[in-house]
Structure 1
Amino acid sequence: MIAPSLLIGAARSSSGKTALTLGLMRALTRRGLRVAPVKCGPDYIDAAFHAAATGRAGVNLDSWAMDAQLIGRLAARVSEGADIVIAEGAMGLFDGAPGGAAGIGASADIAAMLGWPVALVHDVSGQGQTAAAIVRGIAGHDARVKVAGVILNRVGSERHRKLAGEAIEALGIPVFGALPRNEGVSLPERHLGLVQAGETAGLDGRLEALADFIEAHVDVAAIVAAAAHTSPLRGEVVGRSPTGGGELSPHPALLRNATLPIKGRVEIPPPAQRIAVARDDAFSFFYPHLAQSWRDAGAELCFFSPLADEAPPEDCDICWLPGGYPELHAGRLSAAQGFIKGLRRFALRGWLHGECGGYMVLGRALIDAAGAAHEMAGLLELETSFAKRKLHLGYRQARLAVDHPLGAVGVRLRGHEFHYATVLREDGAPFALARDAYSDDERPAGLARNGVSGSFFHLMA
C-alpha cells in the first residue's frame, strides 16, 4: 500500500514546479508530516533538494528507463513509514520519448500507473482566461490522469488572479492557490540546472522562505486532502523488462572472489560485493535507487571523497566514479595525487568504471572553462574539454560491447546522457554500443581497456 500521494505537474518546463514542490515539502515537514519525496525523470539535482527539504531520501521514477514492476516496487519502498508522498514532475506533464520500457518517460505515466492525482502549477504570465483553455486541455488529455487542482504561478495582480482563477474554477477544477511574482525565493542555477544542494549557501533558510511563501499563498490543507484520493496499488504492477528479455545477472568474472547472495529479482544486480563509490561536490550524480538495490542484494558501498584527496578503499572489488562536476574542480582533482595514484593502483587489481564526469577523470586530460588543461588519471585514451561546450541530452539504450561487471557482452541497459563536455580525443575499444530514443542507429559509446571502463551514459535500469 502506498501512502497518500500527489504529483506536481505543469504544462511546460520553467513553470515553477521545483519552487512549489520544495516549499510544499518543507511546509508539510514542519507541520510534523513524514514526507516521502519522488522525482520523475533522470534528475539527480532536484532529488538532493527534496532530501534537504524533507529529511528523507527520495527516489527517481522514470517510465522510459524502468519497467512497471520496478516503478511499483520503488514507489512502495519510498512510501514506507511516510504520511504523504510528494512527487515533482519533469518538463511538461505529458512530455517524453518513444520506445520506453513502461511508457514514454512522461510524468503522466507515473501518475496513471500509480493512481496519483496531479496538482498542476500553471504559469499565467501573459494569460487571463486562456489559462482555463490550457488547463481544460491538460485535464482532458488522458482519462487515466486526474488533475486534482491548479496552483497559479507568476500572478501579476488580484485582478489577474480572478480572471485566470475563476475561469479555471468554472471548469469544476479547484484552484489551490495563486503565487505572485517573487524572484526573492528563487534558487541559484548553473549549466546543468540548480547549483547542487550541498553547495547552496544558506539552503535551510531558503527552504524555510519557500515554505513561508507557499503557506501564505496556497491552501496546503486542500492539497493534502487531494493526495488522500490516491488509488492504491493492487498486487504487483506488471510490465515488460527493459532488457528486452530475461533478467540481468552479474557477470561471473566479477564475482570471482565474492560471496554475494543474489536472491530474487533485483533492479540492477550489484557489480561486486564491495563497491567503492566517489562522493563529494565533484561526484554527486548517483541514483539512490541504484545504491539501495545493490544493498538489498547484499553488496557493501564504501564512499570516499576525491576532493579530500582520498583514494578508493583497496579492499573493494570495483570503484565507481559517478557523474558530477569535475570540470569545476579540475585543478583540485589533478592536484589530489593521493586520489589519482590510488585510482592507478586500484586499476592493477580491481575494476574501475566512470559515468560522465567520472569517465572524464579516467582520461588523460580535462580542459576547464578557462582553457587550462589538467592531467587526469590517464587510464583511458580520452581528452575532454569544457572550454568548448555543446549540450548532449537524452535517453540512451546501451548494449555492452565487452564482458563487464554490469553483465556479459550484449546485455542491454537503459539510462540517459546529460553533459556539455566536448570529446577532443577518444581512442580504443568501446564500452557499449548506444542509441537514443529516436533512432535504431547504434554508435560506439565510451571506452573499455584492461579493467577500466566508462562513458557519458548514466545507468538507470
Structure 2
Amino acid sequence: MAAGLVISAPASGVGKTTLTLALARAWRNRGLNVQCFKSGPDYIDPAFHAAATGRASVNIDSWAMDRAEIAHLVSRGANADVVLAEGSMGLFDGVAARGVSGTGATADIAEMLGWPVVLVIDPSGQAQTAAAIAAGLRDYRAGVRLAGVVLNRVASPRHEDLVRRPLNDAGIAVFGALPRHAEISLPKRHLGLVQAEEQVEIGKLIDEAARFVAEHVDLEAVLRAAASWAPQSGANGLNVTPPGQRIALARDAAFSFVYPHMLEAWRAAGAEISTFSPLADEAPDASADVCWLPGGYPELHAGKIAASARFRDGLRVFAETRPVHGECGGYMVLGIALTDADGVRHEMAGLLGLETSFAKRRMHLGYRLAELAAPMPGHQVGARLRGHEFHYSTIIAQPDTPLAVVHDATGTVIAETGSRRGQATGTFFHLIAEDR
C-alpha cells in the first residue's frame, strides 16, 4: 500500500517543485518506488517529476476533471511506495467558481484523496509570523490535514530558532530547515520553469537537491506522516476522445506543451502517435489522418520556424485533405504571422488568418470552458471542452470563423474564441478534458 502526501505552500515561488524533486529522488535513492502527480494545469513540472523518479507523472485537476477521472489517473500509484502530489500556487488558491469537482485548488486534491499536506514555508523577512501563517492554513478547511512544514531559505541558525519555536508551540511539526542554497534553484522563464529536456544536467541538479534536502530534512519523519492509500477500485478512465486513429504530433523545444494524460488517453483509446520536429524542418507523417501542433515557445524559435520551408509546405499539403489543429503556440504557428519580442514579424504557416505579437507582452491566464460552434478533431459541434490558457501574446487579427464560445472560470465570455478555416482549427487554450 502506498503512502500519499501533498506538497504545497502559502504561495508560488516558495520551493514546492525543488522539494518535491528532492524528496522523490532521495527516496528513490533509498530503494523506494516514487510516483509523482501535479495538481493543476502545469505542463512543465511533470517532466521534472519523471526525471526525478523514472516514472511518468500526470496532472490532476479538480476544476477540469471529475472524481472518477482523478481516481483513474492516481491509480497508477498503486504499485508505488510513496505518492507525491505537487500543488500549484498556494494551498487554497483556485478560481472563484467551482468547476467539475472543485475550484482547481491543491486543497481539493488533498481532501479528495485524504493525503496530508507538507507545507513549504519561506520565512524570509519574518520570524514568528511564519507560525501564524502555517496555523491559519492548518485550520482553514476541516477536511485538509497538515502533516507539518519544511522551512526553506532560512537565513541563519538564529533565524531558524525564531521560526521553529512558535511552530512547535502551535503543535506543528517542523520536518527540517533548508538554508539558502542557490545551486539547486531551477531557472525561470516567462511561462514558468525552463523545460526539463532543455537542461542537460537536470539529473545532477536533482541529485544535488536530494543530497541537500536529505542533509537538512528528516525523511523518515516525513514518510511516517504520509497517509496509507490504495486506489479506488473500478475507477473510470478519462473522458477523452483521440483526434484521429493515427496522429502526427509536433514535438520539439518549440512544441512541447501537451498534458501527458492526454497522450496516454489517446493511446489507451487505440490511437497511434508519430512525432515530428518542425525545428528540424520535418513535415508531418503523410500516413497520419490528423496533425496536432501543441503549444510551447514558438516565439523563441519564430525565425527558424519561418525558415523551415519543408515543414510549412508539408503542413499546407497535409491540411488540404486532413485536419490540422493547434493549441496556443501551435495555433499561432498555424496563423499568418507572429511578431517576436524584438518586434520582428515572421511568416507562419498561413492556414489560418490569426496574427499574434509578443512585442507588447500581455498575460492571458486562466481556466477556459469552450462550447464548440464548429467541429475540431475528436470533438463535434456542441462539445464542452475544459482547458487552460497561459501566454503573453496579443491578438493582432483573428478573422476566421470562431471555433467556440469560450468562457473563463467566472462564466465571462472572452475574445479568444479559437478559429476554423477549412481543415485547420486552433485554440488558445490547452485541452484538459471534455465534460461528460
Question: TM-score w.r.t. structure 2 length?
Answer: 0.96
2:14 pairs with 1:15:
yes
Q: Structure 2 vs 1, CA of residues 265 and 46 (structure 1 numbering), >3 Å: closer, same or farther?
A: closer
Conserved? CA contact 1:151–1:218, under 8 Å: yes
Structure 1 residue aligned with 2:171: 172
Rounded Cα–Cα distance in structure 2 between residues aligned with 1:279 and 1:267 = 24
Structure 1 residue aligned with 2:207: 208
Structure 2 residue aligned with 1:130: 129
Letter in 2 for 1:96: G
Structure 1 residue aligned with 2:373: 401
Rounded Cα–Cα distance in structure 2 between residues aligned with 1:88 and 1:122 = 14
2:353 pairs with 1:354:
no
2:302 pairs with 1:340:
no
TM-superposed CA distance for 1:403, in Å, is 2.3
SS at match of 1:427: coil
Rounded Cα–Cα distance in structure 1 between residues aligned with 2:373 and 2:28 = 46
SS at match of 1:173: coil
5+ residue gaps, structure 1: 238-263
Structure 1 residue aligned with 2:119: 120
Question: TM-score w.r.t. structure 1 length?
Answer: 0.91
TM-superposed CA distance for 1:354, in Å, is 0.1
TM-superposed CA distance for 1:235, in Å, is 4.4
TM-superposed CA distance for 1:234, in Å, is 4.7
Structure 1 residue aligned with 2:391: 419
Rounded Cα–Cα distance in structure 2 between residues aligned with 1:204 and 1:231 = 29
Structure 2 residue aligned with 1:219: 218
Conserved? CA contact 1:414–1:459, under 8 Å: yes
Structure 2 residue aligned with 1:326: 298
Rounded Cα–Cα distance in structure 1 between residues aligned with 2:381 and 2:73 = 28
Structure 1 residue aligned with 2:426: 454
Counterpart pick for 2:253 among 263, 281, 290: 281
List per-residue Cα deviations over 1:199-224 (Å, max 9, x = no partner): 12422211111111111111111112
2:86 pairs with 1:88:
yes
Q: In angstroms, what is the RMSD of aligned CA positions?
A: 1.5
TM-superposed CA distance for 1:170, in Å, is 2.0
Conserved? CA contact 1:431–1:444, under 8 Å: no
List per-residue Cα deviations over 1:86-106 (Å, max 9, x = no partner): 111000000001131100000
TM-superposed CA distance for 1:439, in Å, is 3.0
Structure 2 residue aligned with 1:187: 186
Letter in 1 for 2:158: R
Letter in 1 for 2:191: L
Letter in 1 for 2:168: E
TM-superposed CA distance for 1:442, in Å, is 5.5
Conserved? CA contact 2:149–2:175, under 8 Å: yes
SS at match of 1:361: helix
Rounded Cα–Cα distance in structure 1 between residues aligned with 2:199 and 2:229 = 37
Conserved? CA contact 2:406–2:417, under 8 Å: yes
Q: Structure 2 vs 1, CA of residues 408 and 176 (structure 1 numbering), >3 Å: closer, same or farther?
A: same
Rounded Cα–Cα distance in structure 2 between residues aligned with 1:440 and 1:369 = 29
Conserved? CA contact 2:244–2:378, under 8 Å: no
Structure 2 residue aligned with 1:65: 64
Rounded Cα–Cα distance in structure 2 between residues aligned with 1:320 and 1:411 = 19
Letter in 2 for 1:300: E
Conserved? CA contact 1:188–1:200, under 8 Å: no
Conserved? CA contact 1:114–1:232, under 8 Å: no
List per-residue Cα deviations over 1:17-52 (Å, max 9, x = no partner): 111111112212222222111111100111111111
Structure 2 residue aligned with 1:44: 43
TM-superposed CA distance for 1:361, in Å, is 0.5
Letter in 2 for 1:113: M
Rounded Cα–Cα distance in structure 2 between residues aligned with 1:177 and 1:222 = 10
Aligned length: 432
Percent of aligned positions that are identical: 56
Conserved? CA contact 1:72–1:236, under 8 Å: no
Rounded Cα–Cα distance in structure 2 between residues aligned with 1:418 and 1:442 = 14
- Compare 293-302 and 164-173 and name the one that shifted more: 164-173
Rounded Cα–Cα distance in structure 1 between residues aligned with 2:55 and 2:69 = 20
Conserved? CA contact 2:71–2:232, under 8 Å: no
5+ residue gaps, structure 2: none
Structure 2 residue aligned with 1:140: 139
